[in-house]
Protein backbone atom coordinates (compact mmCIF):
# COMPACT_ATOMS: atom_id res chain seq x y z
CA UNK A 1 0.00 0.00 0.00
CA UNK A 2 2.78 2.44 0.89
CA UNK A 3 5.19 1.24 -1.82
CA UNK A 4 3.28 2.82 -4.73
CA UNK A 5 3.24 6.41 -3.41
CA UNK A 6 6.87 5.99 -2.33
CA UNK A 7 7.86 4.92 -5.85
CA UNK A 8 5.80 7.79 -7.28
CA UNK A 9 7.71 10.26 -5.11
CA UNK A 10 11.02 8.67 -6.13
CA UNK A 11 10.22 8.91 -9.83
CA UNK A 12 9.23 12.57 -9.59
CA UNK A 13 12.21 13.48 -7.41
CA UNK A 14 14.61 11.79 -9.85
CA UNK A 15 14.24 14.74 -12.22
CA UNK A 16 15.26 17.29 -9.57
CA UNK A 17 19.06 16.91 -9.89
CA UNK A 18 18.76 17.33 -13.67
CA UNK A 19 16.56 20.40 -13.40
CA UNK A 20 18.59 21.95 -10.56
CA UNK A 21 21.84 21.29 -12.44
CA UNK A 22 20.57 23.39 -15.32
CA UNK A 23 19.04 26.10 -13.13
CA UNK A 24 22.25 26.49 -11.15
CA UNK A 25 23.97 27.74 -14.30
CA UNK A 26 21.66 30.78 -14.11
CA UNK A 27 21.25 31.41 -10.37
CA UNK A 28 22.76 30.75 -6.94
CA UNK A 29 21.69 27.72 -4.87
CA UNK A 30 19.72 29.76 -2.33
CA UNK A 31 17.70 31.57 -5.02
CA UNK A 32 16.97 28.33 -6.86
CA UNK A 33 15.85 26.41 -3.75
CA UNK A 34 13.84 29.31 -2.29
CA UNK A 35 12.04 30.17 -5.53
CA UNK A 36 11.22 26.55 -6.40
CA UNK A 37 9.79 25.71 -2.97
CA UNK A 38 8.04 29.07 -2.68
CA UNK A 39 6.13 28.64 -5.92
CA UNK A 40 5.28 25.06 -4.92
CA UNK A 41 3.28 26.25 -1.89
CA UNK A 42 0.06 27.05 -3.84
CA UNK A 43 0.06 23.55 -5.35
CA UNK A 44 0.60 21.97 -1.95
CA UNK A 45 -2.19 24.11 -0.48
CA UNK A 46 -4.67 23.01 -3.16
CA UNK A 47 -3.66 19.38 -2.69
CA UNK A 48 -4.11 19.68 1.07
CA UNK A 49 -7.52 21.31 0.79
CA UNK A 50 -8.65 18.63 -1.67
CA UNK A 51 -7.82 15.84 0.78
CA UNK A 52 -8.50 17.70 4.05
CA UNK A 53 -11.38 20.21 3.76
CA UNK A 54 -10.81 21.38 7.36
CA UNK A 55 -7.41 21.98 8.92
CA UNK A 56 -6.48 19.21 11.40
CA UNK A 57 -5.66 19.90 15.02
CA UNK A 58 -2.02 19.82 16.12
CA UNK A 59 -0.08 19.77 19.38
CA UNK A 60 3.32 20.79 20.69
CA UNK A 61 5.03 17.68 19.33
CA UNK A 62 3.80 18.56 15.85
CA UNK A 63 5.23 22.07 16.10
CA UNK A 64 8.60 20.83 17.34
CA UNK A 65 8.79 18.05 14.76
CA UNK A 66 7.88 20.27 11.79
CA UNK A 67 10.31 22.97 12.92
CA UNK A 68 13.13 20.42 13.26
CA UNK A 69 12.32 18.93 9.86
CA UNK A 70 12.20 22.35 8.19
CA UNK A 71 15.56 23.44 9.62
CA UNK A 72 17.33 20.26 8.52
CA UNK A 73 15.56 20.25 5.14
CA UNK A 74 16.61 23.83 4.44
CA UNK A 75 20.26 22.99 5.11
CA UNK A 76 20.05 19.73 3.15
CA UNK A 77 18.49 21.41 0.10
CA UNK A 78 21.21 24.07 0.06
CA UNK A 79 24.03 21.55 0.55
CA UNK A 80 22.67 19.31 -2.21
CA UNK A 81 22.19 22.22 -4.62
CA UNK A 82 25.68 23.56 -3.95
CA UNK A 83 27.21 20.13 -4.56
CA UNK A 84 25.46 19.97 -7.94
CA UNK A 85 27.41 23.03 -9.02
CA UNK A 86 30.68 21.09 -8.96
CA UNK A 87 29.69 17.43 -9.30
CA UNK A 88 27.80 15.32 -11.87
CA UNK A 89 24.14 14.77 -11.06
CA UNK A 90 24.68 11.04 -11.64
CA UNK A 91 27.16 11.05 -8.72
CA UNK A 92 25.29 13.38 -6.37
CA UNK A 93 22.01 11.48 -6.50
CA UNK A 94 23.43 8.00 -5.72
CA UNK A 95 25.41 9.33 -2.75
CA UNK A 96 22.11 10.30 -1.11
CA UNK A 97 21.19 6.61 -0.96
CA UNK A 98 23.44 6.19 2.06
CA UNK A 99 20.83 7.94 4.21
CA UNK A 100 18.30 5.05 4.63
CA UNK A 101 20.76 3.13 6.81
CA UNK A 102 20.70 6.01 9.29
CA UNK A 103 16.91 6.34 8.95
CA UNK A 104 16.29 2.66 9.71
CA UNK A 105 18.41 2.97 12.85
CA UNK A 106 16.73 6.21 13.98
CA UNK A 107 13.20 4.93 13.30
CA UNK A 108 13.98 1.80 15.33
CA UNK A 109 15.24 3.90 18.23
CA UNK A 110 12.57 6.62 18.28
CA UNK A 111 9.52 5.12 16.54
CA UNK A 112 9.82 1.49 17.61
CA UNK A 113 9.84 0.27 13.98
CA UNK A 114 12.00 -2.87 14.07
CA UNK A 115 13.17 -3.90 10.58
CA UNK A 116 12.99 -7.55 9.50
CA UNK A 117 15.83 -9.57 8.03
CA UNK A 118 14.57 -9.19 4.45
CA UNK A 119 14.18 -5.46 4.90
CA UNK A 120 17.69 -5.11 6.30
CA UNK A 121 19.05 -7.15 3.40
CA UNK A 122 17.25 -4.85 0.99
CA UNK A 123 18.70 -1.76 2.67
CA UNK A 124 22.15 -3.36 2.50
CA UNK A 125 21.83 -4.02 -1.24
CA UNK A 126 20.71 -0.46 -1.90
CA UNK A 127 23.71 0.89 0.00
CA UNK A 128 26.08 -1.53 -1.76
CA UNK A 129 24.68 -0.42 -5.10
CA UNK A 130 25.16 3.22 -4.13
CA UNK A 131 28.81 2.55 -3.32
CA UNK A 132 29.30 0.69 -6.61
CA UNK A 133 27.82 3.59 -8.55
CA UNK A 134 30.54 5.86 -7.19
CA UNK A 135 33.49 3.49 -7.51
CA UNK A 136 34.71 4.04 -11.06
CA UNK A 137 37.82 2.87 -12.91
CA UNK A 138 39.73 6.01 -11.89
CA UNK A 139 39.39 5.03 -8.24
CA UNK A 140 41.50 1.86 -8.49
CA UNK A 141 44.27 1.61 -6.00
CA UNK A 142 42.67 4.04 -3.56
CA UNK A 143 40.89 3.35 -0.31
CA UNK A 144 37.14 3.38 -1.27
CA UNK A 145 36.08 6.33 0.88
CA UNK A 146 39.30 8.15 0.08
CA UNK A 147 38.38 7.91 -3.60
CA UNK A 148 34.97 9.39 -2.87
CA UNK A 149 36.44 12.17 -0.75
CA UNK A 150 38.64 13.30 -3.63
CA UNK A 151 35.59 14.14 -5.73
CA UNK A 152 34.32 17.74 -5.42
CA UNK A 153 30.99 18.23 -3.69
CA UNK A 154 31.04 14.83 -1.97
CA UNK A 155 31.21 16.26 1.55
CA UNK A 156 28.22 18.51 0.95
CA UNK A 157 26.04 15.79 -0.55
CA UNK A 158 26.90 13.35 2.25
CA UNK A 159 25.92 16.06 4.73
CA UNK A 160 22.64 16.50 2.87
CA UNK A 161 22.09 12.74 2.94
CA UNK A 162 22.67 12.59 6.68
CA UNK A 163 20.15 15.37 7.28
CA UNK A 164 17.62 13.70 5.01
CA UNK A 165 18.12 10.53 7.03
CA UNK A 166 16.86 12.37 10.11
CA UNK A 167 14.02 14.43 8.64
CA UNK A 168 11.67 11.48 7.94
CA UNK A 169 11.65 10.66 11.66
CA UNK A 170 10.52 14.22 12.46
CA UNK A 171 7.96 14.12 9.65
CA UNK A 172 6.46 10.80 10.74
CA UNK A 173 6.15 12.13 14.30
CA UNK A 174 4.46 15.26 12.96
CA UNK A 175 1.98 13.22 10.90
CA UNK A 176 1.12 11.13 13.95
CA UNK A 177 0.33 14.32 15.88
CA UNK A 178 -2.26 15.73 13.48
CA UNK A 179 -5.92 15.18 14.43
CA UNK A 180 -7.31 13.73 12.19
CA UNK A 181 -4.13 12.38 10.62
CA UNK A 182 -3.11 14.43 7.59
CA UNK A 183 0.15 13.73 5.73
CA UNK A 184 -0.47 16.47 3.16
CA UNK A 185 -1.05 19.12 5.81
CA UNK A 186 2.27 18.13 7.36
CA UNK A 187 3.98 18.41 3.97
CA UNK A 188 2.49 21.88 3.51
CA UNK A 189 3.59 23.11 6.93
CA UNK A 190 7.15 21.78 6.56
CA UNK A 191 7.55 23.29 3.09
CA UNK A 192 6.12 26.60 4.28
CA UNK A 193 8.55 26.71 7.19
CA UNK A 194 11.48 25.96 4.87
CA UNK A 195 10.50 28.91 2.66
CA UNK A 196 10.15 31.17 5.72
CA UNK A 197 13.60 30.15 6.98
CA UNK A 198 15.22 30.78 3.60
CA UNK A 199 13.41 34.03 2.79
CA UNK A 200 15.69 36.49 4.70
CA UNK A 201 18.84 35.01 3.15
CA UNK A 202 17.36 34.79 -0.36
CA UNK A 203 16.05 38.36 -0.22
CA UNK A 204 19.40 39.63 1.01
CA UNK A 205 21.07 37.91 -1.92
CA UNK A 206 18.58 39.43 -4.37
CA UNK A 207 18.90 42.92 -2.87
CA UNK A 208 22.70 42.72 -3.02
CA UNK A 209 22.67 42.30 -6.77
CA UNK A 210 21.30 38.82 -7.30
CA UNK A 211 17.99 39.95 -8.81
CA UNK A 212 19.07 38.94 -12.35
CA UNK A 213 19.24 35.38 -10.98
CA UNK A 214 15.54 35.42 -10.14
CA UNK A 215 14.54 37.16 -13.36
CA UNK A 216 16.38 34.58 -15.45
CA UNK A 217 14.81 31.67 -13.57
CA UNK A 218 11.14 32.57 -14.07
CA UNK A 219 11.55 32.33 -17.84
CA UNK A 220 13.06 28.85 -17.72
CA UNK A 221 10.99 25.76 -18.48
CA UNK A 222 13.13 23.80 -16.01
CA UNK A 223 12.07 26.16 -13.21
CA UNK A 224 8.37 25.54 -13.86
CA UNK A 225 8.95 21.79 -13.98
CA UNK A 226 10.93 21.85 -10.73
CA UNK A 227 8.22 23.84 -8.94
CA UNK A 228 5.54 21.45 -10.21
CA UNK A 229 7.48 18.48 -8.86
CA UNK A 230 8.03 20.28 -5.54
CA UNK A 231 4.28 20.84 -5.30
CA UNK A 232 3.27 17.26 -6.16
CA UNK A 233 6.00 14.88 -4.92
CA UNK A 234 5.57 15.67 -1.17
CA UNK A 235 1.93 14.52 -1.35
CA UNK A 236 3.17 11.09 -2.44
CA UNK A 237 6.14 11.02 -0.09
CA UNK A 238 4.33 12.04 3.09
CA UNK A 239 1.43 9.68 2.29
CA UNK A 240 3.90 6.81 2.00
CA UNK A 241 5.49 7.75 5.34
CA UNK A 242 2.09 7.80 7.02
CA UNK A 243 1.34 4.25 5.81
CA UNK A 244 4.63 2.37 6.06
CA UNK A 245 7.78 1.99 8.18
CA UNK A 246 9.73 5.18 7.67
CA UNK A 247 13.07 3.41 7.23
CA UNK A 248 11.78 1.29 4.36
CA UNK A 249 9.85 4.16 2.77
CA UNK A 250 12.89 6.41 2.65
CA UNK A 251 14.94 3.60 1.14
CA UNK A 252 12.47 3.42 -1.74
CA UNK A 253 12.76 7.20 -2.05
CA UNK A 254 16.44 6.66 -2.79
CA UNK A 255 15.48 4.70 -5.90
CA UNK A 256 15.26 8.14 -7.49
CA UNK A 257 19.05 7.86 -7.84
CA UNK A 258 18.64 5.02 -10.34
CA UNK A 259 16.32 7.10 -12.50
CA UNK A 260 18.59 10.13 -12.15
CA UNK A 261 21.54 8.15 -13.51
CA UNK A 262 19.45 7.33 -16.58
CA UNK A 263 18.23 10.90 -17.05
CA UNK A 264 21.79 12.22 -16.56
CA UNK A 265 23.15 10.05 -19.37
CA UNK A 266 20.22 10.87 -21.64
CA UNK A 267 19.67 14.58 -20.98
CA UNK A 268 23.03 15.83 -19.66
CA UNK A 269 25.29 13.40 -21.55
CA UNK A 270 27.20 12.59 -18.36
CA UNK A 271 29.72 9.72 -18.68
CA UNK A 272 29.84 6.44 -16.77
CA UNK A 273 26.36 5.11 -17.55
CA UNK A 274 27.51 1.61 -18.55
CA UNK A 275 29.61 1.24 -15.43
CA UNK A 276 26.78 2.47 -13.19
CA UNK A 277 23.94 0.46 -14.75
CA UNK A 278 24.72 -2.86 -12.94
CA UNK A 279 24.90 -0.97 -9.65
CA UNK A 280 21.52 0.58 -10.40
CA UNK A 281 20.04 -2.88 -10.96
CA UNK A 282 21.46 -3.98 -7.61
CA UNK A 283 19.66 -1.07 -5.97
CA UNK A 284 16.40 -2.08 -7.67
CA UNK A 285 16.80 -5.61 -6.28
CA UNK A 286 17.25 -4.20 -2.80
CA UNK A 287 14.19 -1.99 -3.19
CA UNK A 288 12.07 -4.98 -4.26
CA UNK A 289 13.14 -6.87 -1.14
CA UNK A 290 12.07 -3.90 0.97
CA UNK A 291 8.72 -3.40 -0.74
CA UNK A 292 7.42 -6.98 -0.92
Q: For residue range 110-135, list pLDDT tens digits in order.
A: 777 777 788 788 878 877 877 776 66
For residue 255, what pLDDT is reported? 81
For residue 212, what pLDDT is reported? 55
Q: How far apart are CA 167 and CA 178, in angstroms?
A: 17
- Alpha carbon distance, N-terminus to C-terminus of the chain: 10
pTM metric for this prediction: 0.85
**Nearest C-alpha neighbor of 260 from the set 237, 283, 239, 244:** 283
For residue 137, what pLDDT is reported? 52
CB-based contacts of 166, cutoff 8 Å, min separation 6: 72, 102, 103, 106
| Residues of the chain predicted below pLDDT 70 | 98, 100-103, 133-152, 209-219, 291-292
231 in Cβ contact with 42 (< 8 Å): yes
For residue 145, what pLDDT is reported? 47
Say how far residue 129 (Cα) sits from the centre of its chain: 18
Question: Is residue 57 helix, strand or coil?
Answer: strand
For residue 214, what pLDDT is reported? 62
Amino acid sequence: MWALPALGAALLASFNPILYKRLLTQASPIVVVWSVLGLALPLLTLSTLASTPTWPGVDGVFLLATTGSAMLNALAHLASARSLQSTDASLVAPLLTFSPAFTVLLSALFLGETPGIRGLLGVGLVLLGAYWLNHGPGDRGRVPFQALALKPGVGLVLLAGLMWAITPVFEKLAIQHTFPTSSRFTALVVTGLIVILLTPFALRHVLQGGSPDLNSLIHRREWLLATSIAGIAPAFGYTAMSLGPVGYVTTLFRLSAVFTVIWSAWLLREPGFRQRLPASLLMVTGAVLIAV
